[in-house]
Amino acid sequence: MEVVIVPDAMAGGELIAETMAALVRRKPDALLGVATGSTPLPVYEALTAKVRAGAVDVSRVRICQLDEYVGLPSGHPESYRSTVLRQVVEPLGLTEDSFLGPDGTARDVPAACAAYDRALAEAGGVDLQLLGIGTDGHIGFNEPCSSLASRTRIKTLTRQTREDNARFFDHDIEQVPHHVITQGIGTIMEARHLVLLATGEGKAEAVARSVEGPVAAVCPASALQLHPHATVVVDEAAASRLR
């Protein structure tokens, strides 16, 4: 695992966008796994700027989603499908055809989860998966004590994560769904390159436990220690509890 400390979130975004651009120059139809939440926004802004400046051609890139709320109606602005289309797919000039995600509206959720794992494998596997980290060490929506071998499945969000995400739902926790579909930790670990971005003091404890603590299900991001190509990009505040 490589840990890169950058001065701030903008620098982290630029570094990861350049890593993505370099991958796409080598492999124009790369499958890029993206995350939602606040942290990755500087990455998407920096990558979009590169595309608009003609520094990289992403026209054949495919985008896939890490996780999705269960039960939000199709087209809900806070569904992760809508969010990824708005924040990544459209700014990069791509269409929904280039996009893969789990179906959070499916009646048979376990079948939708299995179908998504199959779709990722049939697409050739994820080349680079971008990850954020929860204050409790979650990746995707694999909350503490998720199996490190888990596959895409339904999970119940902790109260902490629902509180953290209430800001996207008019600060009303009652509107935040209780359930999500998330790529499992085992699924995430199959990506060829994992890139985790963490910024701000609030993530410092989770970063320290993930990078320097024991590999344990109680801190899902610690699984990255076992990945052959994992890069953790942290700003100085998020790095402040590293030894």
Q: Is residue 124 within 8 Å of residue 32, measured between CB atoms?
A: no
Phi-psi group of 100: left, alpha or beta (phi > 0 → left; psi -120 to 50 → alpha; rest → beta): beta
| DSSP 8-state class, residue 224 | G
Minimum Å gap between C-beta 57 and ligand F6R is: 26
Task: Go through 35-53 and write b for each residue having 16 or more CB atoms within 10 A of its CB, e for each that does not.
Answer: bbbebbebbbebbbebbee
143 is catalytic: yes
Nearer to ligand F6R, 36 or 146 (CB): 36
Minimum Å gap between C-beta 166 and ligand F6R is: 12
Separation of alpha carbons 151 and 187, rounded Å: 5
Provide φ and ψ at 208, rounded to 5°.
Answer: -60, -40
Active-site choice (127, 138, 164, 235): 138
Nearer to ligand F6R, 104 or 134 (CB): 134
Nearer to ligand F6R, 55 or 173 (CB): 173
Separation of alpha carbons 236 and 8, rounded Å: 7
Minimum Å gap between C-beta 68 and ligand F6R is: 9
Positions touching ligand F6R (CB under 6 A) are 35-39, 66-67, 132-134, 138-141
Provide φ and ψ at 161, rounded to 5°.
Answer: -70, -40
Minimum Å gap between C-beta 82 and ligand F6R is: 13
Nearer to ligand F6R, 11 or 56 (CB): 11
138 is catalytic: yes
Active-site choice (67, 68, 103, 127): 67
By beta carbon distance, the residue nearest ligand F6R is 132
Q: Is residue 194 within 8 Å of residue 231, measured between CB atoms?
A: yes
Active-site choice (68, 143, 164, 235): 143
Q: Is residue 31 within 8 Å of residue 124, measured between CB atoms?
A: yes
Active-site choice (68, 127, 136, 235): 136
Minimum Å gap between C-beta 60 and ligand F6R is: 24
Nearer to ligand F6R, 105 or 135 (CB): 135
164 is catalytic: no
Catalytic residue numbers, as ranges: 67, 136, 138, 143
